[in-house]
A and B are shown apart, each in its own frame.
Chain A
Amino acid sequence: MSKSFGGLKVLDDITFEISKAKAFVLLGRSGTGKSVTLKHIIGLVRPDKGHVFVDGREITQLDARALSDVRKHMGFLFQSAALFDSMTVGDNVAFPLRRHTDLPDKEIRERAKQKLADVGLEREFDKMPAELSGGMKKRAALARAMALDPAILLVDEPSAGLDPITASEIDELLVQRKHSGATIVVVTHNIPSARAIGDELAVLHEGHIIAQGTAGDLDRSDDPLVKTFMRSEAGG
């Protein structure tokens, strides 16, 4: 799979496979195309060349409706949280439920509250996103991404800009999701976080995957880049 933006080749013929009910962590320095890769999986970005298969379905060839069906089973946590400014936190979390379930409004509110409680934000239900701190936004966005209990959870930089405690709480939540059967794909440059979550790790560098395997495999890698990367515990 390849992708260029304005003549700049971001991804150059990368190939990887993610196992069901496992956590896959894509590592790499800022601007190496990690987020772009993640957006390919949910069809927000289409490759110039190559294929993306989700559950055996070729995402790049689907029409809007079929793609929409696939997306209903996916959750996506954006790097910038991307909460809808115009809605309360509660409505943000309830949004996927309102769109894609026929549940009564009361039930939806109940579930949204539960999801917010999971990320420790039950009291922020009626607040507007602008009133939240960055970490709270991230957690609220995660609550939204998990609102439909998706089979696949795509997470872009879950712990960026967060204090270590909140970050580890989020990591914990992701691990819980994995244990309840969800496939998790995480993009991060936070190595401890990657170690905590990841069943399989891959390192993206200059458009290529330069290493792939468990955390142990990567630690043992001879590639100097990978070595440097794995040792920079705090991330770059």
Chain B
Amino acid sequence: MAKAVSVRGLTKAFGARTVLDGIDLEVQPGEFVALLGRSGCGKSTLLRILAGLDRDVEGTAEVPGTVSIAFQQPRLLPWRKVWKNISLGLHKPDGREVALKALEEVRLTGHADAWPLTLSGGEAQRVSLARALVREPDVLLLDEPFGALDALTRLAMHHLVEDLWARHKPAVLLVTHDVDEALLLADRILVLDEGRIVATHHVDLPRPRRRASVVEQRTRVLADLGVDVEEAA
């Protein structure tokens, strides 16, 4: 089967600083992969390259199908009503029907004619997800989309993303620095450090996952990030 994402020997430098250092990565269709790492480890850069926002690289990064991305900020056009922001993803002026359906999926029915600036952070982020999903992407890139949300909204968003993923089955690449988030959502966790994939964890726990079920593996993933939980506790 064709890969959803295939990256080989990907290297990216900003001046003298190497941000990505020979990344090899393959993602299967429908697979949920989390890219985990500290700030500045290169995970967002990798996502931007896959989204086609940065082409000045060495090595290859191939994404054969349709790509969508949701950023940390919702990046909605404030002068367009919610439904028009979603139909923007369809790349045609019409498409209210599709937009309304997508809004229902992200549980925002009734906000179709609202202005984006009147939405809360979580609501705006859900619109941004809807906009990414109406394209029916083969690959969904999530660049810390929960990073700016409060803890409670974040929990709700985790469920929503898992739900949407289960329904549409795109390959997902989620960039995060939250270990629990990665463990709750991903099939596979890649730990990035200084531009390299330093560890891979397969998460075979049944879904939906509860916090308690991931505790054991959490310790091992944190160890790869250089955080010794046992010692800290």
- A and B: real partners? no
Residues in chain B within 8 A of chain A (CB atoms) = none
Interface residues of A (CB under 8 A from B): none
